[in-house]
């Protein structure tokens, strides 16, 4: 079989045709005191994503080997005493690569990666290690089996970047009950990370967004010699007595950002916060962190990831304009979207949830998957790059493709049905969680079974609804075609 994914991933690393949007929210500005990290994974509409459950192992059976994006030969030793974890991998990686996001049994969550681009000056001095450096395909599956805290995850990934290099530019978010850390690459061997303020939110869209780095501060981490390297090579950095401007030294702002990246960040910041005076094409003026006008819920973050500039002239779907210059947050080629929620006061098994929407967010439904799930519904483990009638991915994708045939007529039908489903599921979650709390200390096996039964039921109901909607849209489309080509005579 053709190595479809090797070729397509190599392309996406070199141009901005493939891209993601990330939202991170501190627990002091969420409605329920939870930490939230979320991202749309945008690449190929025909690339099925699969949900993977990796059990704990005394020792992993084999070393990690990159699947070969860009001809990459990155390897990493097998983990000893590997933790249980989940991942959302591409169909042709057997669950061992391109993990995208997940939680482990120590309570650490990761979303990897937000593609970013470092500036030409620094890359001329310290280029990406494209042949053997770590790339986005490796991060979840290398880091999650090993780390017991978000900070430990940052340190391990940073160590790999410094010693083996990075194959590309990226941003990665790590989460545990203590908070959220965000790491960005600076060059082939340099990086920095910051702990997201608990009273703020952060947005990224395919561009380095971290600015200030403060050495020897508990909320910052970085590669050895990060500042000295910039000084030695006269990188365009700005310093004062308190901080070093990482963005100016290591990231880039180019003309392409004004339509591809800036509008997404600007839109989310103006959606969540009042009183901003920023201009949409002036990305360097965007604040790094902001306080929302209202505390944010998981649903608010989902709506952000579904945004396509609706009710504006730049909505490409309602105006049937695929060539609009502004790249929307919700695009058809989204492979999957995830919102990871961590509620520190609850047991890990139900306190940590991945909400996953397969395919285009504006036409998909977010389904909750609890960290305590040990039995994955079969439909989530199927699918490849050809349409089928069995995988969850393709059931959602078929409906989305139909809806795109007449956005203004069909999208409201799908969106309303999925909105109602999400509300009903949220109510069921509360009931299940209360039952779990009553069971987990005295009857732990029954508590696990409760979570598994809930997951299988929710997935089955979502797929049944999706099939019903698909048939409804087919019926309407058939009527439309019949009217257009009726040839009914006199």
Task: Cite the active site residues.
Answer: 20
Identify any residues that bridge with 23 across adjacent strands, giving them in sequence order.
38, 203
Do 105 and 56 touch, CB atoms closer than 8 A? yes
Q: How many CA atoms lie within 13 A of 316 on its CB side?
A: 16
Which tokens in the block code for residue 285? 């003026």
Q: Classify burial at 311, counting beta carbons within 10 Å of its beta carbon; exposed 0-12, middle 13-18, buried 19 or more.
A: exposed
The candidate with the shortest Cα–Cα distance to 137, out of 162, 115, 116, 121, is: 115
Which tokens in the block code for residue 424? 């009903």
| Three-class SS of 94-145 | CCCCCCCEEEECCCCEEEEEEECCECHHHHHHCCCCCCCCECCCCHHHHHCC
d(CA 488, CA 490): 7
Do 349 and 341 touch, CB atoms closer than 8 A? no
Handedness of CA 139, 117, 199, 221 (dihedral sign): positive
Strands 212-213 and 220-222 turn out to be unpaired
Provide the 3-class DSSP secondary structure of residue 192: strand
Following CA atoms 259, 264, 266, 270 in sequence, which dihedral angle do they give, to the nearest 10 degrees? 140
Provide the 3-class DSSP secondary structure of residue 240: coil
């Amino acid at each position: 079989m053709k190595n479809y994914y090797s070729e397509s991933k190599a392309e996406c690393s070199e141009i901005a045709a493939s891209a993601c949007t990330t939202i991170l929210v501190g627990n002091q500005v969420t409605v329920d005191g939870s930490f939230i990290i979320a991202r749309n994974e945008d690449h190929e509409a025909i690339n099925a994503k699969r949900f993977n459950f990796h059990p704990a192992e005394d020792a992993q059976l084999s070393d990690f080997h990159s699947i070969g994006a860009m001809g990459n030969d990155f390897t990493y030793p097998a983990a000893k005493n590997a933790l249980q974890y989940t991942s959302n991998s591409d169909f042709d990686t057997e669950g061992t690569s391109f993990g995208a996001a997940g939680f482990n049994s120590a309570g650490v969550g990761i979303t990897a990666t937000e593609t970013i681009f470092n500036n030409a000056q620094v890359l001329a001095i310290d280029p990406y290690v494209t042949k053997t450096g770590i790339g986005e395909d490796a991060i979840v599956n290398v880091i999650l089996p090993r780390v017991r805290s978000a900070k430990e995850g940052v340190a391990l990934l940073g160590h790999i970047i410094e010693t083996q290099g990075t194959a590309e530019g990226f941003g990665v978010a790590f989460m545990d009950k203590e908070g959220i850390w965000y790491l960005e690459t600076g060059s082939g061997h340099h990086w920095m990370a910051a702990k997201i303020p608990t009273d703020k939110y952060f947005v990224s869209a395919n561009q380095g967004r971290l600015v200030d780095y403060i050495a020897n501060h508990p909320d910052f981490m970085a590669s050895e010699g990060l500042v000295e390297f910039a000084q030695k090579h006269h990188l365009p950095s700005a310093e004062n007595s308190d901080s070093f401007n990482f963005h100016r030294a290591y990231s880039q702002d180019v003309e392409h950002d004004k339509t591809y990246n800036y509008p997404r960040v600007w839109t989310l910041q103006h959606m969540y916060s009042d009183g901003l005076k920023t201009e949409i094409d002036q990305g360097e003026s965007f604040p790094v962190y902001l306080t929302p006008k209202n505390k944010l819920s998981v649903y608010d973050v989902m709506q952000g990831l579904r945004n396509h500039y609706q009710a504006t002239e730049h909505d490409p779907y309602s105006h049937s304009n695929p060539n609009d210059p502004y790249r929307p947050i919700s695009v058809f080629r989204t492979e999957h979207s995830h919102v990871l929620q961590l509620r520190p006061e609850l047991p890990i098994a139900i306190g940590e949830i991945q909400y996953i929407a397969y395919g285009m967010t504006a036409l998909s439904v977010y389904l909750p998957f609890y960290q305590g799930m040990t039995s994955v519904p079969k439909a989530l483990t199927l699918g490849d790059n050809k349409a089928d009638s069995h995988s969850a991915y393709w059931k959602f994708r078929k409906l989305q493709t139909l809806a795109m045939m007449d956005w203004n007529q069909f999208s409201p039908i799908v969106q309303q049905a999925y909105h109602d489903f999400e509300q009903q599921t949220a109510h069921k979650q509360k009931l299940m969680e209360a039952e779990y709390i009553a069971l987990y200390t005295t009857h732990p096996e029954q508590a696990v079974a409760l979570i598994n039964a809930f997951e299988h039921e929710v997935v089955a109901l979502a797929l049944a609804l999706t099939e019903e909607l698909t048939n409804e849209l087919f019926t309407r489309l058939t009527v439309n075609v019949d009217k257009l080509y009726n040839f009914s005579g006199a």
